[in-house]
Structure 1
Amino acid sequence: MPARISMTGSQRDTLLALPDDEAMVLRHHSLDADDLAAINSARTPETRLGYALQLCCLRYPGRHLRRGELLPAVMLDHIAEQIGVDAEVIAGFARRTPTRYDQLLAIKARFGFADLTKPMRATLRAWLEAEAIGLTDGRVLLNRFLDELRARKIVMPGISVVERMAAVAMHAAERRIIADIEDRLDIATRSRLDALTAEKTHDRQSRFSWLREPTPRVASASLVGILDKIALVRGIGAQTVVTHTQYEPRLAQYAREGVRYTAQAFQQMGPARRHVILVGTLREFEATLTDAAIGMFGSLIGRAHLRARKRLEQTVAASADQRRARLIRVAGVLEAVSKAARAGGDIAAAVAAVASLSIRSTPTLLFSGEPRGRDEIVRSPRSGRNIGRSNARDRVS
Protein backbone atom coordinates (compact mmCIF):
# COMPACT_ATOMS: atom_id res chain seq x y z
CA MET A 1 0.00 0.00 0.00
CA PRO A 2 1.52 3.39 -0.96
CA ALA A 3 2.35 5.62 1.97
CA ARG A 4 3.34 8.71 0.01
CA ILE A 5 2.30 10.68 -3.02
CA SER A 6 4.75 11.22 -5.84
CA MET A 7 6.28 14.65 -5.18
CA THR A 8 9.67 16.26 -5.08
CA GLY A 9 11.13 17.47 -1.80
CA SER A 10 10.58 21.13 -2.69
CA GLN A 11 6.95 20.47 -3.63
CA ARG A 12 6.38 18.74 -0.31
CA ASP A 13 8.02 21.57 1.66
CA THR A 14 5.83 24.26 0.07
CA LEU A 15 2.55 22.63 1.07
CA LEU A 16 2.63 23.94 4.65
CA ALA A 17 5.11 26.79 4.17
CA LEU A 18 4.35 30.23 5.58
CA PRO A 19 3.24 32.72 2.89
CA ASP A 20 6.05 34.90 1.57
CA ASP A 21 4.04 36.58 -1.18
CA GLU A 22 2.25 39.87 -0.53
CA ALA A 23 -0.94 38.74 -2.26
CA MET A 24 -1.07 35.55 -0.20
CA VAL A 25 -0.37 37.45 3.02
CA LEU A 26 -3.15 39.95 2.31
CA ARG A 27 -5.55 37.12 1.48
CA HIS A 28 -4.93 34.90 4.49
CA HIS A 29 -3.46 37.11 7.22
CA SER A 30 -5.75 40.12 7.28
CA LEU A 31 -7.35 40.62 10.71
CA ASP A 32 -10.91 41.77 11.39
CA ALA A 33 -12.39 43.56 14.42
CA ASP A 34 -13.04 40.36 16.38
CA ASP A 35 -9.47 39.23 15.79
CA LEU A 36 -8.08 42.56 16.98
CA ALA A 37 -10.26 42.47 20.08
CA ALA A 38 -8.89 39.04 21.03
CA ILE A 39 -5.32 40.09 20.28
CA ASN A 40 -5.59 43.27 22.34
CA SER A 41 -6.47 41.20 25.39
CA ALA A 42 -2.76 40.41 25.65
CA ARG A 43 -0.93 42.87 27.88
CA THR A 44 2.45 43.50 26.21
CA PRO A 45 3.38 44.27 22.61
CA GLU A 46 5.38 41.07 22.24
CA THR A 47 2.52 38.89 23.53
CA ARG A 48 0.04 40.68 21.25
CA LEU A 49 2.30 40.06 18.24
CA GLY A 50 2.80 36.45 19.28
CA TYR A 51 -0.96 35.96 19.65
CA ALA A 52 -1.58 37.42 16.18
CA LEU A 53 1.15 35.32 14.58
CA GLN A 54 -0.15 32.08 16.07
CA LEU A 55 -3.73 32.89 15.05
CA CYS A 56 -2.71 33.66 11.48
CA CYS A 57 -0.53 30.55 11.25
CA LEU A 58 -3.39 28.32 12.44
CA ARG A 59 -5.60 29.75 9.70
CA TYR A 60 -2.98 29.48 6.99
CA PRO A 61 -1.14 27.26 6.31
CA GLY A 62 -3.16 25.53 9.08
CA ARG A 63 -0.53 24.37 11.55
CA HIS A 64 1.28 25.42 14.72
CA LEU A 65 3.97 28.05 14.60
CA ARG A 66 7.19 26.14 15.21
CA ARG A 67 9.70 27.19 17.83
CA GLY A 68 12.55 29.15 16.28
CA GLU A 69 10.90 29.20 12.85
CA LEU A 70 12.02 31.96 10.51
CA LEU A 71 9.13 34.22 9.58
CA PRO A 72 8.88 35.82 6.11
CA ALA A 73 9.44 39.56 6.45
CA VAL A 74 6.34 40.47 4.41
CA MET A 75 4.17 38.34 6.70
CA LEU A 76 5.68 39.66 9.95
CA ASP A 77 5.52 43.31 8.90
CA HIS A 78 1.91 43.02 7.71
CA ILE A 79 0.67 41.46 10.95
CA ALA A 80 2.69 43.82 13.17
CA GLU A 81 1.36 46.85 11.28
CA GLN A 82 -2.26 45.76 11.77
CA ILE A 83 -1.91 45.47 15.55
CA GLY A 84 0.26 48.58 15.85
CA VAL A 85 3.46 47.12 17.31
CA ASP A 86 7.07 46.97 16.19
CA ALA A 87 7.99 43.72 14.44
CA GLU A 88 11.26 43.59 16.40
CA VAL A 89 9.47 42.69 19.64
CA ILE A 90 8.94 39.15 18.35
CA ALA A 91 12.36 38.24 19.73
CA GLY A 92 11.07 38.69 23.29
CA PHE A 93 7.99 36.54 22.70
CA ALA A 94 10.02 33.69 21.18
CA ARG A 95 11.78 33.14 24.53
CA ARG A 96 8.51 32.67 26.43
CA THR A 97 7.59 29.04 25.84
CA PRO A 98 4.84 28.79 28.54
CA THR A 99 3.21 31.93 27.19
CA ARG A 100 3.18 30.49 23.67
CA TYR A 101 1.42 27.31 24.81
CA ASP A 102 -1.10 29.19 26.94
CA GLN A 103 -1.95 31.49 24.05
CA LEU A 104 -2.28 28.54 21.66
CA LEU A 105 -4.84 26.88 23.92
CA ALA A 106 -6.76 30.13 24.26
CA ILE A 107 -6.79 30.69 20.49
CA LYS A 108 -8.11 27.16 19.80
CA ALA A 109 -10.85 27.55 22.37
CA ARG A 110 -11.95 31.00 21.22
CA PHE A 111 -11.80 30.45 17.44
CA GLY A 112 -12.90 26.82 17.26
CA PHE A 113 -9.72 25.08 16.16
CA ALA A 114 -9.42 21.33 16.82
CA ASP A 115 -6.69 18.72 16.58
CA LEU A 116 -6.81 15.79 14.14
CA THR A 117 -8.15 13.10 16.47
CA LYS A 118 -8.94 9.46 15.56
CA PRO A 119 -12.71 10.00 15.27
CA MET A 120 -12.06 12.97 13.02
CA ARG A 121 -9.68 10.87 10.90
CA ALA A 122 -12.42 8.32 10.26
CA THR A 123 -14.76 11.06 9.04
CA LEU A 124 -12.09 12.58 6.83
CA ARG A 125 -11.13 9.16 5.43
CA ALA A 126 -14.63 8.74 4.01
CA TRP A 127 -14.48 12.25 2.55
CA LEU A 128 -11.09 11.53 0.99
CA GLU A 129 -12.20 8.29 -0.69
CA ALA A 130 -15.26 10.00 -2.17
CA GLU A 131 -13.07 12.81 -3.57
CA ALA A 132 -10.44 10.38 -4.88
CA ILE A 133 -12.89 8.48 -7.12
CA GLY A 134 -12.73 11.05 -9.88
CA LEU A 135 -9.04 11.92 -9.54
CA THR A 136 -5.86 10.42 -10.95
CA ASP A 137 -3.28 12.77 -9.43
CA GLY A 138 -2.66 12.36 -5.72
CA ARG A 139 -1.30 15.89 -5.45
CA VAL A 140 -4.69 17.30 -6.47
CA LEU A 141 -6.35 15.28 -3.72
CA LEU A 142 -3.74 16.37 -1.20
CA ASN A 143 -4.30 20.06 -1.99
CA ARG A 144 -8.06 19.60 -1.68
CA PHE A 145 -7.53 17.83 1.61
CA LEU A 146 -5.44 20.68 2.99
CA ASP A 147 -8.13 23.17 1.98
CA GLU A 148 -10.78 21.00 3.64
CA LEU A 149 -8.79 20.83 6.87
CA ARG A 150 -8.43 24.61 6.89
CA ALA A 151 -12.15 25.04 6.21
CA ARG A 152 -12.99 22.72 9.13
CA LYS A 153 -10.40 24.47 11.35
CA ILE A 154 -8.49 21.27 11.99
CA VAL A 155 -4.88 21.81 12.97
CA MET A 156 -2.53 19.77 10.79
CA PRO A 157 -0.07 17.67 12.78
CA GLY A 158 2.43 17.48 9.91
CA ILE A 159 2.57 17.00 6.17
CA SER A 160 3.56 13.34 6.45
CA VAL A 161 0.29 12.49 8.24
CA VAL A 162 -2.04 14.19 5.78
CA GLU A 163 0.01 12.95 2.84
CA ARG A 164 -0.31 9.36 4.04
CA MET A 165 -4.07 9.75 4.46
CA ALA A 166 -4.42 11.09 0.90
CA ALA A 167 -2.25 8.29 -0.53
CA VAL A 168 -4.29 5.62 1.25
CA ALA A 169 -7.49 7.18 -0.07
CA MET A 170 -6.17 7.16 -3.65
CA HIS A 171 -5.29 3.49 -3.34
CA ALA A 172 -8.66 2.62 -1.81
CA ALA A 173 -10.50 4.48 -4.58
CA GLU A 174 -8.56 2.58 -7.24
CA ARG A 175 -9.42 -0.77 -5.65
CA ARG A 176 -13.05 0.25 -5.45
CA ILE A 177 -13.17 1.23 -9.14
CA ILE A 178 -11.46 -1.96 -10.26
CA ALA A 179 -13.79 -4.14 -8.20
CA ASP A 180 -16.88 -2.31 -9.48
CA ILE A 181 -15.93 -2.56 -13.17
CA GLU A 182 -14.85 -6.19 -12.79
CA ASP A 183 -18.28 -7.03 -11.38
CA ARG A 184 -19.91 -5.50 -14.47
CA LEU A 185 -18.03 -7.86 -16.84
CA ASP A 186 -19.66 -11.15 -17.72
CA ILE A 187 -17.72 -14.40 -18.01
CA ALA A 188 -17.61 -14.29 -21.82
CA THR A 189 -16.16 -10.77 -21.89
CA ARG A 190 -13.50 -11.70 -19.34
CA SER A 191 -12.56 -14.73 -21.45
CA ARG A 192 -12.22 -12.59 -24.59
CA LEU A 193 -10.08 -10.09 -22.69
CA ASP A 194 -7.76 -12.86 -21.49
CA ALA A 195 -7.52 -14.28 -25.03
CA LEU A 196 -6.43 -10.87 -26.31
CA THR A 197 -3.09 -11.14 -24.52
CA ALA A 198 -2.74 -14.94 -24.61
CA GLU A 199 -3.61 -15.89 -28.20
CA LYS A 200 -1.34 -15.15 -31.15
CA THR A 201 -2.16 -13.63 -34.51
CA HIS A 202 1.26 -14.64 -35.84
CA ASP A 203 3.96 -16.91 -34.48
CA ARG A 204 5.44 -14.29 -32.14
CA GLN A 205 2.78 -11.61 -31.90
CA SER A 206 -0.22 -11.51 -29.60
CA ARG A 207 -3.49 -10.01 -30.65
CA PHE A 208 -2.91 -7.11 -28.29
CA SER A 209 0.49 -6.36 -29.84
CA TRP A 210 -1.12 -6.49 -33.28
CA LEU A 211 -3.75 -3.96 -32.21
CA ARG A 212 -1.04 -1.68 -30.86
CA GLU A 213 0.91 -1.55 -34.14
CA PRO A 214 1.25 1.96 -35.63
CA THR A 215 -0.93 3.05 -38.52
CA PRO A 216 0.61 1.88 -41.83
CA ARG A 217 1.01 3.92 -45.00
CA VAL A 218 -2.04 5.03 -46.96
CA ALA A 219 -3.24 2.10 -49.05
CA SER A 220 -6.43 0.13 -49.56
CA ALA A 221 -4.85 -2.93 -47.89
CA SER A 222 -3.97 -0.77 -44.85
CA LEU A 223 -7.57 0.40 -44.58
CA VAL A 224 -8.74 -3.21 -44.61
CA GLY A 225 -6.28 -4.00 -41.80
CA ILE A 226 -7.59 -1.12 -39.68
CA LEU A 227 -11.17 -2.26 -40.20
CA ASP A 228 -10.16 -5.77 -39.10
CA LYS A 229 -8.72 -4.31 -35.89
CA ILE A 230 -11.90 -2.33 -35.23
CA ALA A 231 -13.95 -5.49 -35.74
CA LEU A 232 -11.76 -7.35 -33.23
CA VAL A 233 -12.05 -4.58 -30.61
CA ARG A 234 -15.81 -4.34 -30.97
CA GLY A 235 -16.15 -8.10 -30.88
CA ILE A 236 -14.64 -8.18 -27.38
CA GLY A 237 -17.41 -5.92 -26.09
CA ALA A 238 -15.37 -3.59 -23.84
CA GLN A 239 -17.23 -0.55 -25.13
CA THR A 240 -20.57 -1.98 -24.00
CA VAL A 241 -19.57 -2.01 -20.32
CA VAL A 242 -21.52 0.74 -18.58
CA THR A 243 -19.42 2.58 -15.98
CA HIS A 244 -19.94 5.56 -13.73
CA THR A 245 -19.00 8.93 -15.20
CA GLN A 246 -16.66 9.52 -12.26
CA TYR A 247 -14.57 6.57 -13.46
CA GLU A 248 -13.70 8.20 -16.78
CA PRO A 249 -10.48 9.90 -15.57
CA ARG A 250 -9.26 6.57 -14.16
CA LEU A 251 -10.17 4.70 -17.34
CA ALA A 252 -8.30 7.30 -19.39
CA GLN A 253 -5.28 6.79 -17.13
CA TYR A 254 -5.58 3.00 -17.55
CA ALA A 255 -5.64 3.50 -21.32
CA ARG A 256 -2.40 5.50 -21.16
CA GLU A 257 -0.84 2.75 -19.07
CA GLY A 258 -2.22 -0.06 -21.23
CA VAL A 259 -0.60 1.09 -24.46
CA ARG A 260 2.79 0.78 -22.75
CA TYR A 261 2.29 -2.70 -21.29
CA THR A 262 3.32 -5.81 -23.14
CA ALA A 263 1.19 -8.95 -23.32
CA GLN A 264 3.55 -10.58 -20.82
CA ALA A 265 3.10 -7.69 -18.39
CA PHE A 266 -0.68 -8.07 -18.59
CA GLN A 267 -0.46 -11.78 -17.86
CA GLN A 268 1.52 -11.07 -14.69
CA MET A 269 -1.23 -8.80 -13.29
CA GLY A 270 -4.14 -9.87 -11.19
CA PRO A 271 -7.19 -10.80 -13.27
CA ALA A 272 -9.37 -7.90 -12.10
CA ARG A 273 -6.73 -5.24 -12.71
CA ARG A 274 -5.83 -6.75 -16.10
CA HIS A 275 -9.44 -6.77 -17.23
CA VAL A 276 -10.12 -3.18 -16.16
CA ILE A 277 -6.94 -1.81 -17.76
CA LEU A 278 -7.77 -3.67 -20.98
CA VAL A 279 -11.29 -2.23 -20.95
CA GLY A 280 -9.89 1.31 -20.78
CA THR A 281 -7.22 0.53 -23.38
CA LEU A 282 -9.64 -1.04 -25.87
CA ARG A 283 -11.98 1.91 -25.60
CA GLU A 284 -9.10 4.18 -26.53
CA PHE A 285 -8.06 1.78 -29.31
CA GLU A 286 -11.53 1.88 -30.84
CA ALA A 287 -11.59 5.68 -30.94
CA THR A 288 -8.05 5.89 -32.31
CA LEU A 289 -8.59 3.20 -34.95
CA THR A 290 -11.87 4.74 -36.05
CA ASP A 291 -10.19 8.11 -36.52
CA ALA A 292 -7.38 6.40 -38.45
CA ALA A 293 -9.87 4.59 -40.72
CA ILE A 294 -11.78 7.79 -41.46
CA GLY A 295 -8.55 9.66 -42.17
CA MET A 296 -7.19 6.92 -44.42
CA PHE A 297 -10.48 6.63 -46.32
CA GLY A 298 -10.40 10.37 -46.93
CA SER A 299 -6.80 10.13 -48.15
CA LEU A 300 -7.67 7.28 -50.52
CA ILE A 301 -10.65 9.20 -51.91
CA GLY A 302 -8.49 12.27 -52.35
CA ARG A 303 -5.79 10.26 -54.10
CA ALA A 304 -8.36 8.66 -56.45
CA HIS A 305 -9.80 12.09 -57.22
CA LEU A 306 -6.38 13.47 -58.08
CA ARG A 307 -5.62 10.53 -60.33
CA ALA A 308 -8.96 10.81 -62.12
CA ARG A 309 -8.48 14.53 -62.56
CA LYS A 310 -5.01 14.01 -63.95
CA ARG A 311 -6.25 11.40 -66.43
CA LEU A 312 -9.06 13.72 -67.49
CA GLU A 313 -6.66 16.59 -68.01
CA GLN A 314 -4.38 14.35 -70.05
CA THR A 315 -7.32 13.14 -72.17
CA VAL A 316 -8.57 16.67 -72.75
CA ALA A 317 -5.08 17.85 -73.67
CA ALA A 318 -4.59 14.95 -76.12
CA SER A 319 -8.01 15.52 -77.68
CA ALA A 320 -7.28 19.21 -78.09
CA ASP A 321 -3.98 18.43 -79.76
CA GLN A 322 -5.68 16.01 -82.16
CA ARG A 323 -8.37 18.52 -83.06
CA ARG A 324 -5.77 21.20 -83.57
CA ALA A 325 -3.76 18.92 -85.87
CA ARG A 326 -6.86 18.07 -87.88
CA LEU A 327 -7.82 21.69 -88.28
CA ILE A 328 -4.32 22.56 -89.42
CA ARG A 329 -4.40 19.68 -91.89
CA VAL A 330 -7.79 20.71 -93.27
CA ALA A 331 -6.67 24.32 -93.52
CA GLY A 332 -3.59 23.25 -95.46
CA VAL A 333 -5.67 21.19 -97.87
CA LEU A 334 -8.13 24.01 -98.42
CA GLU A 335 -5.32 26.46 -99.01
CA ALA A 336 -3.72 24.08 -101.54
CA VAL A 337 -7.05 23.59 -103.33
CA SER A 338 -7.66 27.34 -103.42
CA LYS A 339 -4.21 28.04 -104.86
CA ALA A 340 -4.54 25.28 -107.46
CA ALA A 341 -8.01 26.47 -108.47
CA ARG A 342 -6.84 30.06 -108.92
CA ALA A 343 -3.80 28.97 -110.86
CA GLY A 344 -5.72 26.45 -112.98
CA GLY A 345 -3.42 23.66 -111.82
CA ASP A 346 -3.99 20.04 -110.88
CA ILE A 347 -6.07 20.06 -107.69
CA ALA A 348 -5.46 16.39 -106.88
CA ALA A 349 -1.73 16.84 -107.13
CA ALA A 350 -1.91 19.92 -104.94
CA VAL A 351 -3.89 18.05 -102.33
CA ALA A 352 -1.52 15.07 -102.43
CA ALA A 353 1.37 17.41 -101.86
CA VAL A 354 0.05 18.66 -98.52
CA ALA A 355 -1.92 15.65 -97.18
CA SER A 356 -2.11 11.93 -97.86
CA LEU A 357 -5.79 11.93 -98.82
CA SER A 358 -7.36 8.98 -100.58
CA ILE A 359 -9.11 9.60 -103.89
CA ARG A 360 -12.39 8.66 -102.24
CA SER A 361 -12.05 11.42 -99.71
CA THR A 362 -10.84 14.08 -102.11
CA PRO A 363 -14.23 14.87 -103.68
CA THR A 364 -15.65 15.42 -100.24
CA LEU A 365 -13.11 18.18 -99.71
CA LEU A 366 -13.47 19.52 -103.25
CA PHE A 367 -17.20 19.65 -103.42
CA SER A 368 -18.16 20.32 -99.84
CA GLY A 369 -19.37 23.71 -101.01
CA GLU A 370 -21.83 24.48 -103.84
CA PRO A 371 -20.38 26.63 -106.75
CA ARG A 372 -22.15 29.93 -107.37
CA GLY A 373 -22.12 29.79 -111.16
CA ARG A 374 -24.23 27.18 -112.94
CA ASP A 375 -21.76 26.88 -115.85
CA GLU A 376 -18.60 26.96 -113.71
CA ILE A 377 -15.85 24.66 -115.05
CA VAL A 378 -13.81 22.37 -112.77
CA ARG A 379 -11.05 19.88 -113.50
CA SER A 380 -11.59 16.12 -113.20
CA PRO A 381 -9.37 14.48 -110.56
CA ARG A 382 -8.93 11.34 -112.66
CA SER A 383 -8.14 12.64 -116.19
CA GLY A 384 -7.33 16.23 -115.50
CA ARG A 385 -9.84 17.32 -118.19
CA ASN A 386 -12.21 20.21 -117.67
CA ILE A 387 -15.77 19.03 -117.05
CA GLY A 388 -19.03 20.77 -116.36
CA ARG A 389 -20.74 21.06 -113.04
CA SER A 390 -23.33 18.41 -113.70
CA ASN A 391 -20.79 15.96 -115.16
CA ALA A 392 -18.49 16.42 -112.25
CA ARG A 393 -21.32 15.55 -109.81
CA ASP A 394 -22.08 12.41 -111.81
CA ARG A 395 -18.47 11.28 -111.76
CA VAL A 396 -18.19 11.80 -108.06
CA SER A 397 -21.28 9.87 -107.29
Structure 2
Amino acid sequence: MRKRKIILPAMYAIEHLVWAVCERAERRTFKKLTKALSPQQFLQLEQLLTKSADKHITNLSWLRKPPGTVSLKNFHKILDRIQFIQKLALPLENGQEIHQNRLLQLAREGSRYSTQHLSRFHSLKRYATLMAFLIHMYAFLIDQGLYVNEKLLGRMFKRGEKIHNDSF
Protein backbone atom coordinates (compact mmCIF):
# COMPACT_ATOMS: atom_id res chain seq x y z
CA MET A 1 0.00 0.00 0.00
CA ARG A 2 2.90 2.32 0.65
CA LYS A 3 4.15 1.71 -2.90
CA ARG A 4 0.78 2.83 -4.22
CA LYS A 5 0.90 5.85 -1.85
CA ILE A 6 -2.18 4.80 0.12
CA ILE A 7 -1.95 6.36 3.56
CA LEU A 8 -5.12 5.02 5.09
CA PRO A 9 -6.92 2.15 3.39
CA ALA A 10 -10.69 1.98 3.25
CA MET A 11 -12.46 0.38 6.18
CA TYR A 12 -13.58 -2.60 4.12
CA ALA A 13 -9.94 -3.30 3.21
CA ILE A 14 -8.91 -3.30 6.87
CA GLU A 15 -11.86 -5.51 7.81
CA HIS A 16 -11.04 -7.92 5.01
CA LEU A 17 -7.40 -8.07 6.09
CA VAL A 18 -8.28 -8.68 9.75
CA TRP A 19 -10.84 -11.33 8.81
CA ALA A 20 -8.31 -13.12 6.59
CA VAL A 21 -5.66 -13.08 9.33
CA CYS A 22 -8.13 -14.43 11.91
CA GLU A 23 -9.23 -17.21 9.55
CA ARG A 24 -5.63 -18.13 8.83
CA ALA A 25 -4.74 -18.23 12.54
CA GLU A 26 -7.80 -20.36 13.28
CA ARG A 27 -6.93 -22.82 10.51
CA ARG A 28 -3.37 -23.09 11.82
CA THR A 29 -4.65 -23.77 15.32
CA PHE A 30 -6.99 -26.47 14.05
CA LYS A 31 -4.23 -28.09 12.01
CA LYS A 32 -1.85 -28.10 14.98
CA LEU A 33 -4.46 -29.80 17.16
CA THR A 34 -5.27 -32.45 14.60
CA LYS A 35 -1.79 -33.12 13.22
CA ALA A 36 -0.55 -36.69 13.36
CA LEU A 37 -4.06 -38.09 13.79
CA SER A 38 -4.61 -41.35 11.97
CA PRO A 39 -7.85 -42.14 10.11
CA GLN A 40 -8.71 -44.49 12.99
CA GLN A 41 -8.32 -41.64 15.48
CA PHE A 42 -10.53 -39.36 13.38
CA LEU A 43 -13.13 -42.12 13.47
CA GLN A 44 -12.79 -42.38 17.25
CA LEU A 45 -13.34 -38.63 17.58
CA GLU A 46 -16.41 -38.95 15.37
CA GLN A 47 -17.74 -41.78 17.55
CA LEU A 48 -17.68 -39.46 20.57
CA LEU A 49 -20.71 -37.80 19.00
CA THR A 50 -22.77 -40.98 18.57
CA LYS A 51 -24.79 -42.74 21.23
CA SER A 52 -23.28 -45.86 22.70
CA ALA A 53 -25.60 -48.82 23.22
CA ASP A 54 -24.65 -49.48 26.84
CA LYS A 55 -24.82 -45.85 28.08
CA HIS A 56 -27.82 -44.51 26.09
CA ILE A 57 -25.94 -41.19 25.80
CA THR A 58 -23.03 -40.08 23.70
CA ASN A 59 -19.55 -40.66 25.03
CA LEU A 60 -19.01 -36.91 24.87
CA SER A 61 -22.02 -36.33 27.16
CA TRP A 62 -20.74 -39.03 29.50
CA LEU A 63 -17.33 -37.34 29.68
CA ARG A 64 -18.99 -33.99 30.38
CA LYS A 65 -20.87 -35.22 33.45
CA PRO A 66 -19.59 -33.61 36.66
CA PRO A 67 -17.63 -35.91 38.99
CA GLY A 68 -20.02 -35.44 41.92
CA THR A 69 -19.26 -35.65 45.61
CA VAL A 70 -16.21 -37.21 47.20
CA SER A 71 -16.87 -40.95 47.33
CA LEU A 72 -15.19 -44.16 46.27
CA LYS A 73 -17.91 -44.73 43.65
CA ASN A 74 -17.26 -41.33 42.07
CA PHE A 75 -13.51 -41.91 42.25
CA HIS A 76 -14.00 -45.04 40.14
CA LYS A 77 -16.16 -43.06 37.70
CA ILE A 78 -13.35 -40.52 37.32
CA LEU A 79 -10.87 -43.34 36.72
CA ASP A 80 -13.18 -44.85 34.09
CA ARG A 81 -13.25 -41.55 32.21
CA ILE A 82 -9.47 -41.20 32.42
CA GLN A 83 -9.06 -44.73 31.08
CA PHE A 84 -11.52 -44.01 28.28
CA ILE A 85 -9.50 -41.00 27.12
CA GLN A 86 -6.26 -42.98 27.40
CA LYS A 87 -7.71 -45.82 25.29
CA LEU A 88 -8.35 -43.36 22.48
CA ALA A 89 -4.53 -43.03 22.26
CA LEU A 90 -4.78 -39.51 20.90
CA PRO A 91 -1.73 -37.23 20.74
CA LEU A 92 -2.79 -35.01 23.65
CA GLU A 93 0.59 -33.27 23.47
CA ASN A 94 -0.64 -31.46 20.33
CA GLY A 95 -2.12 -28.87 22.65
CA GLN A 96 1.32 -27.77 23.85
CA GLU A 97 1.93 -25.77 20.68
CA ILE A 98 -1.20 -23.67 21.16
CA HIS A 99 -1.59 -20.74 23.52
CA GLN A 100 -3.26 -21.84 26.73
CA ASN A 101 -6.08 -19.30 26.49
CA ARG A 102 -6.96 -20.34 22.93
CA LEU A 103 -6.90 -24.00 23.92
CA LEU A 104 -9.16 -23.26 26.88
CA GLN A 105 -11.51 -21.29 24.63
CA LEU A 106 -11.80 -24.23 22.23
CA ALA A 107 -12.24 -26.66 25.12
CA ARG A 108 -15.09 -24.54 26.48
CA GLU A 109 -16.72 -24.56 23.07
CA GLY A 110 -16.46 -28.35 23.08
CA SER A 111 -18.06 -28.58 26.50
CA ARG A 112 -20.77 -26.02 25.77
CA TYR A 113 -22.04 -27.06 22.34
CA SER A 114 -24.39 -29.98 21.96
CA THR A 115 -23.33 -33.00 19.97
CA GLN A 116 -25.73 -31.90 17.21
CA HIS A 117 -24.05 -28.50 16.97
CA LEU A 118 -20.59 -30.05 16.97
CA SER A 119 -21.57 -32.47 14.22
CA ARG A 120 -22.55 -29.49 12.03
CA PHE A 121 -19.06 -27.93 12.26
CA HIS A 122 -16.78 -28.48 9.31
CA SER A 123 -14.63 -31.53 9.99
CA LEU A 124 -11.36 -29.76 10.82
CA LYS A 125 -13.03 -27.47 13.36
CA ARG A 126 -15.03 -30.35 14.84
CA TYR A 127 -11.96 -32.54 15.35
CA ALA A 128 -9.88 -29.67 16.71
CA THR A 129 -12.63 -28.68 19.15
CA LEU A 130 -12.98 -32.27 20.33
CA MET A 131 -9.21 -32.57 20.73
CA ALA A 132 -9.08 -29.35 22.79
CA PHE A 133 -11.97 -30.61 24.91
CA LEU A 134 -10.28 -33.97 25.50
CA ILE A 135 -6.94 -32.35 26.37
CA HIS A 136 -8.65 -30.09 28.89
CA MET A 137 -10.93 -32.82 30.24
CA TYR A 138 -8.02 -35.23 30.69
CA ALA A 139 -6.11 -32.68 32.79
CA PHE A 140 -9.28 -31.82 34.74
CA LEU A 141 -10.05 -35.47 35.48
CA ILE A 142 -6.49 -36.10 36.65
CA ASP A 143 -6.78 -33.12 39.01
CA GLN A 144 -10.20 -34.29 40.23
CA GLY A 145 -8.91 -37.82 40.75
CA LEU A 146 -6.01 -36.55 42.85
CA TYR A 147 -8.34 -34.31 44.86
CA VAL A 148 -10.83 -37.11 45.55
CA ASN A 149 -8.00 -39.52 46.39
CA GLU A 150 -6.56 -37.02 48.87
CA LYS A 151 -9.97 -36.53 50.52
CA LEU A 152 -10.63 -40.29 50.72
CA LEU A 153 -7.22 -40.91 52.28
CA GLY A 154 -7.85 -38.08 54.74
CA ARG A 155 -11.16 -39.67 55.77
CA MET A 156 -9.51 -43.06 56.14
CA PHE A 157 -6.76 -41.69 58.38
CA LYS A 158 -9.31 -39.73 60.45
CA ARG A 159 -11.37 -42.88 60.97
CA GLY A 160 -8.27 -44.83 61.95
CA GLU A 161 -7.20 -42.10 64.33
CA LYS A 162 -10.67 -41.96 65.89
CA ILE A 163 -10.73 -45.75 66.36
CA HIS A 164 -7.26 -45.61 67.87
CA ASN A 165 -8.24 -42.80 70.27
CA ASP A 166 -11.50 -44.53 71.25
CA SER A 167 -9.68 -47.75 72.14
CA PHE A 168 -7.58 -45.96 74.78
Task: Please report the TM-score for the alignment, with normalisation by the length of structure 1.
Answer: 0.39
Percent sequence identity over matched residues?
25
Are the equivalent residues in 1 in contact too, given 2:95–2:103 (CA < 8 A)? no
Residue 304 of structure 1, aligned match among 138, 141, 156: 156
> Which one has the largest radius of gyration?
1
- Alpha-carbon distance between aligned partners in 2 of 1:287 and 1:165, rounded to the nearest angstrom: 36
Unaligned regions of 5+ residues in structure 2, if any? none
Q: Which residue does 1:269 correspond to in 2?
A: 121
Q: Which residue does 1:383 correspond to in 2?
A: none
Structure 1 counterpart of 2:58, which letter?
A: S
After superposition, residues 7-156 of structure 1 pair within 5 angstroms as 115=2, 117=4, 155-156=7-8
Structure 1 position 157 matched with structure 2 position 9 = yes
Q: Which residue does 1:256 correspond to in 2?
A: 108
Q: Which has the higher contact order (CA 8 A, sep 6+)?
A: 2
Are the equivalent residues in 2 in contact too, given 1:238–1:283 (CA < 8 A)? no
Shift of residue 310, structure 1, vs aligned partner: 1.4
Residue 218 of structure 1, aligned match among 64, 67, 70: 70
- Alpha-carbon distance between aligned partners in 1 of 2:20 and 2:3, rounded to the nearest angstrom: 17
1:44-63 CA-to-partner distances (Å, cap 9, x unmatched) read xxxxxxxxxxxxxxxxxxxx
Q: Which residue does 2:147 correspond to in 1?
A: 295
Q: CA 1:160 to 1:116, structure 2 compared with 1: closer, same or farther past 3 Å?
A: farther
Shift of residue 236, structure 1, vs aligned partner: 1.4
Pick the structure with more helix per residue: 2
- Alpha-carbon distance between aligned partners in 1 of 2:3 and 2:42, rounded to the nearest angstrom: 44
Unaligned regions of 5+ residues in structure 1, if any? 1-113, 121-153, 317-397
Residue 58 of structure 2, aligned match among 193, 206, 228: 206
Q: Which residue does 1:167 correspond to in 2?
A: 19
Q: CA 1:167 to 1:294, structure 2 compared with 1: closer, same or farther past 3 Å?
A: same
How many residues were matched structurally?
167
Shift of residue 244, structure 1, vs aligned partner: 6.8
Q: CA 1:251 to 1:237, structure 2 compared with 1: closer, same or farther past 3 Å?
A: farther
Structure 2 counterpart of 1:202, which letter?
A: K
- Alpha-carbon distance between aligned partners in 1 of 2:158 and 2:69, rounded to the nearest angstrom: 18
Residue 30 of structure 2, aligned match among 175, 178, 182: 178
Alpha carbon RMSD of aligned pairs, Å? 2.4
